[in-house]
Amino acid sequence: MTSNWLLPALLVVPLLASVILLVAGRRAESWATWFGVGVQSVGLVLMLGVLAEYKRNMSGSMQLVVDAEWVPELLVHFRLGVDGISLPLIALTSLLGWCAAVYTVRRVPEPGRARALVGLLLLLQVGLLGTFMALDLILFFLFFEVVLAPMWFLIAFWGSGERRRAANTFILYTVLGSVVMLVGFLIVIVKTGSADMVALANGLGEQMSGNAQLAAALLILGGLAVKTPMWPFHTWLPDAHTAAPTVGSVLLAGVLLKMGTYGMVRIVVPTLPDAMVQIAPYLAAFAVIGILYGALASYGQQDLKRVIAFSSVGHMGFVLLGISTLSVVGINAALFGNIAHGIITGLLFFVVGGIKQRTGTTAFASLPRGLYASAPRLGFLLGFAAVASLGMPGLAGFWGEFLSLVGAYHPAVPEHLFYRVMLVLAAVGMVLAAAYFLRVLRRVGQGAASQATMDDVAADEWLSWTPLIALTVVLGLAPVLVFQVTDPAVRMVVESVAGALP
Amino acid sequence: MTIQSIDLMVLAPTIVVALGALVALIAELVTRRGQVAVGVGLVTLAFAVPFALAASGEQTLCGAVDADCAYVVAPLSVALQLIVLVSTAIVLLMASSDIAARRVPGGEFVFLILCSVSGAVLVPATNDLVTLIVALEVVSLPTFALVALRRGEPRAAEAALKAFIFSIASVAVSLYGIALLYGTTGAVSFNELAASTQASGPSPLATAGMVMLLAVVAFKIAAIPFHAWAPDTYQGATVPVAAYLSVVSKAAGFSALLLITWTFSAWSQVWAPVVAVLAGVTMLGGNLLALRQRLAVRLLAWSSIAQAGYILVPLAAVAGRLEWGPGVTNAVVGYLVAYAAMNLGAFAVVAVVARRTGAVDWADYRGLARRSPGLAVALALFLASLAGLPPGLIGLLVKVRVLIVPVGSGVWWLAAVMAVATVIGLAYYLAWAAQLFRQPDSEARPSVAEPETGSWTSIVAVAICLALTVTFSIAPSLALGLVDRL
């Protein structure tokens, strides 16, 4: 195929751009942000190219595959590809990266240094896209790690409050997770003699003995669970979100967390099906605890960003619940939930960042009341994103959570009764989510405006937020746009698990 | 064995380096310029490289392939020789500005360092215990003088003495071990020893001898608990000498360890647990104690202790289902190659910064990105590599390569310890890297002192290390597959 250069180009363009910014020196400060928008736009165009080349009727198999031997000593191939599981996430990453770049043009967070900021955002993009494209375990791990340093810098240098501590907690916690994951990968590689994710998923992984599968699956899941984050490994997240600058929070919640759940669907479920079937009920239990905990903890927070951070724990709980059913519906729901959460929470963090920029705070105690009155459009967007986030039918947030409950009603795993209980508890969590977001809206939105005037949504904000708003509505009304891509690939995954089911 | 069939060409790398040492000493006496000695040293090392590469397959000093010859070159030894030669060249470049500024006498410095190198080139090709110990002592003895060779620095003498006493003690223990081994097996040649270990299991005496033999290695690689000399000695010595100790001298130690473990591979159930404990304690202890350091050189000293722990891991994992072989040696050599590039790079930047601003403390690195962006980016990359964090890909990949060995052989606790140690290590590398990019304190210290003459050579040293680290990161096979390419 001639269009195979598209995926490497998606990685090379931001990588080269960040090197250019590094080399350009201080004179780049003035044009760095525009340069960032340009590069992300090129990325978006390349992404459209990928979408055009992508054959929807062949969603179950890898497309646009690139394969070159890289480090034979470690069996590492530079192997990239895209299928129905990764395509939506790659598209989401490109889009959010573009939104963040546009947002940065006029809103470089303190202390400035736009060149470094844009360079790091581009580097982050390389890691995120690479993670979703990699078809080699070690390569996946490398891209997984590429993300860390830029995000650490983003939080530690452009953050606020206890940024340094939050940044360190973030990186040490997630590195511990990824090292654990690496050990799991190495077990798989040593036992099967291959790091090829496609071959492993197509039956090579199943050849491992039961104990080896279980050990590898526990380690890999443990590592990915830190990233997701799954309760009780979530403790790094609220601090990181609170301290991170707006674009950092958007990408953190919007894309970074998805690396964890993506890894589960891409690697653990198809490669280690026997172990996955054993672990699935426990995963479901952790997921549901996360849903309830996220909802309750959100209710208790005194800071807008922390509310959203804990709500993320809950939303990712639904994604995990979907995965744990190992059913076609459940995993589809998980993948949809990933995308929906990325879009909606991205938007939420943008809006909250906007509020913070205007008021200087996100703490309830010092936030002025009456946002609806003082800045009606901003207030509307907060309300819109919050309602979307709590799973209102007709908006994108609904399908992922609803269908993951449907999946839990018909799990592929035999423990039906257990999953029914989980279903009920998760549904309670959904209701609680409504409670905390309504509390936020009442606290921030309603009331007499204590601040007479506040700048409403500016043109550049509209520009960077509109795609997210539009997608929230479009995917809410036509979820099939995502499902038609994910479904064939998910069926392949579920098929590989089918043999492991009793 | 007939004595007339000696093939001196095989010994050429050592001979070239030893002759070069003499020429360098004389050249400085004649010209009265230390820089000339450095030039001679660099040329010498450049000459030695093709001689080292000329050895193809397995060659012995004794002409025909003679298993008991005292000196046997194999691809593995060539790889280690290359590491030594190239690393020393970088160290000389770093030292050149100290010499130009007359802080250290050039002729003596180059003479001593080349003397030490002639031993380091010898070590990986030795084939019996006596030659091995002699070669290791050739590496060590000049380094004590090198450490002390620092004008106007009273701590240097103390530092040298410390290293000397530790060295003497560890060599004494090792010699005792050799005596025990000779007493029980009647052999000093590696092949005979290997044959006798395969013939019979380890007797208590031989076991004791073998473990004691490891003492000299543990000293050289500064493995805990034989590490106590390293931080003080690194700090007392000039930065290039510290770099030499942490890379070349350590490489000699690992060469010796590879030979010893190969010889006794039949008894791996005896020594592997010892090495494993050494590795575990060294990784954890080195990283934990590095956390508290705030002086650049001391931090690098503790970091290089910890790194030595990682390099021990593959050998330690031989205990499980794994045989001593390329799977183990390639991991060790690969890590050594990457370690040489990234660690020398970090030392080179420290040398430049210390010379320009007198900075030794972390706080002095604050805002380095503003003052000298190139140096800051280079140092950040070296630190990221040492930590095993992208963009320092090679540092990460060699850690993966090392970690795969205990995972493959089922030594789980070692894999777990290494995982934890890596995370701890990340903390201080990152904290240092963060300093570089913080806004400089407005009035704390004078930001840039006058750059001194000759410091361009240390910039070249940084550039070479940077180029190597980047190249290895793009093409990791160059490091990981070095032995197979020779």
Residue B432 CB: number of other CB atoms within 10 A?
24
Question: What is the C-alpha separation between A166 and A188, in angstroms, rounded?
Answer: 33
Helix (H, G, I), strand (E, B) or coil at A394: coil
CB contact under 8 A, A71 and B430: no
CB contact under 8 A, B400 and A111: no
pLDDT band with cut points at 50, 70 and 90 for residue B319: low
Say if CB B315 and CB B328 are below 8 A apart: yes
Count of H helices and E strands in chain B?
21, 2
Question: What is the C-alpha separation between A151 and A147, in angstroms, rounded?
Answer: 6
Say if CB A298 and CB A339 are below 8 A apart: no
CB contact under 8 A, B439 and A182: no
Among B408, B420, B430, whose Cβ lies nearest the Cβ of A190? B408
pLDDT of residue B104: 85
pLDDT band with cut points at 50, 70 and 90 for residue B451: very low
pLDDT of residue A450: 66
Is the predicted pLDDT of residue A27 greater than 60, yes or no? yes
Start-to-end C-alpha separation, chain B: 29
pLDDT of residue B471: 95
Among B401, B419, B438, whose Cβ lies nearest the Cβ of A180? B419
Q: Which of A101, A89, A88 is nearest to A42 (CA)?
A: A101
Residue B74 CB: number of other CB atoms within 10 A?
17
Start-to-end C-alpha separation, chain A: 41
Contacts of B396 in chain A (CB under 8 A): 142, 145
Kindly give, in sequence order, each residue whose CB lies less than 8 Å from that of residue B215, ignoring residues fewer than 6 positions away: B170, B171, B173, B174, B177, B226
Contacts of B477 in chain A (CB under 8 A): 71-73
pLDDT of residue B267: 87
pLDDT band with cut points at 50, 70 and 90 for residue B450: very low
CB contact under 8 A, B400 and A138: yes
pLDDT band with cut points at 50, 70 and 90 for residue B449: very low
Q: pLDDT tens-digit profile of A211-236?
A: 899 999 999 999 999 998 998 899 99
Contacts of B400 in chain A (CB under 8 A): 74, 138, 141, 182, 186
Identity of residue B234: Y
DSSP string, B301-369: HHHHHHHHHHHHHHHHGGGSS--SSHHHHHHHHHHHHHHHHHHHHHHHHHHHHHHHH---BGGGGTTHH
What dihedral angle (degrees, nearest 10) is formed by the CA atoms of B408, B414, B420, B424?
-120
Contacts of B330 in chain A (CB under 8 A): 73
Report, as an integer, the average pLDDT of A454-463.
85
> What token pair was written down for A335?
């993948």
CA distance A231 to chain B (A): 21
Is residue A65 packed enough to be buried (19+ CB in 10 Å), middle (13-18) or exposed (0-12)? middle
HSE of B464 in the Cβ direction (CA atoms, 13 Å)? 21
DSSP string, B200-263: SPPPHHHHHHHHHHHHHHHHHTT-TTS-THHHHHHHHS-HHHHHHIIIIIHHHHHHHHHHHHHH
Report, as an integer, the average pLDDT of A450-470.
84
Kindly give, in sequence order, each residue whose CB lies less than 8 Å from that of residue B315, ignoring residues fewer than 6 positions away: B257, B258, B261, B272, B275, B279, B328, B332
Identity of residue A335: L
pLDDT of residue B63: 65
pLDDT of residue B354: 82
pLDDT band with cut points at 50, 70 and 90 for residue B105: confident
Question: What is the C-alpha separation between B350 and B298, in angstroms, rounded?
Answer: 11
Whether residue A14 has a cis bond before it, omega within 30° of 0: no
Q: pLDDT tens-digit profile of A68-107?
A: 989 888 889 999 999 999 999 999 999 999 999 999 988 8
Q: pLDDT tens-digit profile of A327-362?
A: 999 999 999 999 999 999 999 999 999 988 888 888
CA distance B430 to chain A (A): 9
> What token pair was written down for A230?
């799954």
CB contact under 8 A, A172 and B426: yes
Q: What residue in B sits closest to A183 (Cα-Cα)?
A: B407
CB contact under 8 A, A186 and B407: yes
B377 and chain A: CB distance < 8 Å anywhere?
yes
Kindly give, in sequence order, each residue whose CB lies less than 8 Å from that of residue B162, ignoring residues fewer than 6 positions away: B229, B232, B233, B236
Beta bridge partners of B270: none
Q: pLDDT tens-digit profile of B241-251?
A: 999 999 999 99
Is the predicted pLDDT of residue B434 greater than 80, yes or no? yes
Q: pLDDT tens-digit profile of A231-256?
A: 889 999 999 988 999 999 999 999 99
Q: pLDDT tens-digit profile of B147-167?
A: 998 877 788 888 999 999 999
Residue A480 CB: number of other CB atoms within 10 A?
11
Say if CB A347 and CB A385 are below 8 A apart: yes
Percent of chain B residues past pLDDT 90, beyond the cut: 56
Q: What residue in A sits closest to B438 (Cα-Cα)?
A: A157
B391 and chain A: CB distance < 8 Å anywhere?
yes
Is residue A299 packed enough to be buried (19+ CB in 10 Å), middle (13-18) or exposed (0-12)? middle
Question: What is the C-alpha separation between A334 and A324, in angstroms, rounded?
Answer: 9
Q: Which of A60-64, B385-389, B446-450 has the highest mean pLDDT?
A: B385-389
pLDDT of residue B453: 47
Q: Which of B420, B348, B333 is nearest to B381 (CA)?
A: B348
Beta bridge partners of A76: A71
Contacts of B416 in chain A (CB under 8 A): 183
Number of domains in chain A: 1
- Inter-CA distances, B283 with A169, B390, B420, B456, Å: 21, 21, 9, 35
Interface test with A, best of B330, B368, B381, B404 (most A CBs within 10 A): B404
Report, as an integer, the average pLDDT of A308-335.
93
Is the predicted pLDDT of residue A59 greater than 90, yes or no? no
Q: How far is CA B21 from the centre of its chain?
A: 20
Question: What is the C-alpha separation between B316 and B339, in angstroms, rounded?
Answer: 19
Among B393, B404, B423, whose Cβ lies nearest the Cβ of A179? B423
b/e burial code for range B212-240 (CB count within 10 A of at least 16 → b): bbbbbbbbbbbbbebbebbbbbbbbbbbb
Higher pLDDT, B314 or A453: B314
Higher pLDDT, A145 or B445: A145
Higher pLDDT, A131 or B362: A131
Q: What is the mean pLDDT of chain A?
A: 90
Angle at B375 between CA B370 and CA B381, to 5 degrees: 110
Is the predicted pLDDT of residue A317 greater than 90, yes or no? yes
Helix (H, G, I), strand (E, B) or coil at A432: helix
HSE of B93 in the Cβ direction (CA atoms, 13 Å)? 25
**In the A/B pair of chains, how many CB contacts fall below 8 A?**
85
pLDDT of residue A264: 94
pLDDT of residue B447: 47
Is residue B32 packed enough to be buried (19+ CB in 10 Å), middle (13-18) or exposed (0-12)? exposed
pLDDT of residue A445: 80
Beta bridge partners of B126: B71
pLDDT band with cut points at 50, 70 and 90 for residue A2: low
Q: pLDDT tens-digit profile of A402-445?
A: 999 999 998 888 888 899 999 999 999 988 888 888 888 888 88
Percent of chain B residues past pLDDT 70, beyond the cut: 93
Q: pLDDT tens-digit profile of A154-188?
A: 999 998 888 889 999 999 999 999 999 999 999 99
Is the predicted pLDDT of residue B61 greater than 80, yes or no? no
Say if CB A256 and CB A349 are below 8 A apart: no
Question: What is the C-alpha separation between A341 and A254, in angstroms, rounded?
Answer: 7
Task: Cite the DSSP H helix spans in A301-392.
Answer: 304-325, 328-359, 371-374, 376-389
Residues in B 164-203 with any Cβ partner in A closer than 8 A = none
Q: How far is CA B83 from the centre of its chain?
A: 9
H/E stretch holding A375 reads none
pLDDT of residue B444: 52
Question: What is the C-alpha separation between B84 and B118, in angstroms, rounded?
Answer: 10
- Output the furthest CA–CA distance in chain B (Å, rounded): 74
Is the predicted pLDDT of residue B2 greater than 60, yes or no? no
Contacts of A72 in chain B (CB under 8 A): 477, 481
pLDDT of residue B66: 64
CB contact under 8 A, A146 and B401: no
CB contact under 8 A, B437 and A116: yes
Q: What is the mean pLDDT of chain B?
A: 88
Helix (H, G, I), strand (E, B) or coil at A149: helix
pLDDT band with cut points at 50, 70 and 90 for residue B340: very high
Report, as an integer, the average pLDDT of A48-58.
88
CA distance A175 to chain B (A): 7
B327 and chain A: CB distance < 8 Å anywhere?
no
Q: Can you give the residue range of the structural domain that contains A476? A: 2-498
Kindly give, in sequence order, each residue whose CB lies less than 8 Å from that of residue B207, ignoring residues fewer than 6 positions away: B267, B270
Contacting B with CB below 8 Å, chain A residues are 22, 25, 70-74, 111, 116, 123, 127, 138, 141-142, 145-146, 148-149, 152-153, 156-157, 164, 168, 171-172, 175-176, 179-180, 182-183, 186-187, 189-190
Instruction: Please state the three-class secondary structure of A269-322 as a single string.
Output: HHHCHHHHHHHHHHHHHHHHHHHHHHHHHHHHCCEHHHHHHHHHHHHHHHHHHH
CB contact under 8 A, A183 and B419: yes
Say if CB B260 and CB B135 are below 8 A apart: no
Among A74, A142, A164, whose Cβ lies nearest the Cβ of B401? A74
pLDDT band with cut points at 50, 70 and 90 for residue B64: low
B384 and chain A: CB distance < 8 Å anywhere?
yes
Residue A495 CB: number of other CB atoms within 10 A?
14
As for the ipTM of the complex, it is: 0.92
> B59-60 and B72-73 as β-strands: parallel, antiparallel, unpaired?
antiparallel
Q: Which of B180, B25, B47 is nearest to B112 (CA)?
A: B25
pTM higher than the cut 0.90: yes
> What token pair was written down for B84?
């030594």
Q: Which of A13, A133, A11 is nearest to A63 (CA)?
A: A133
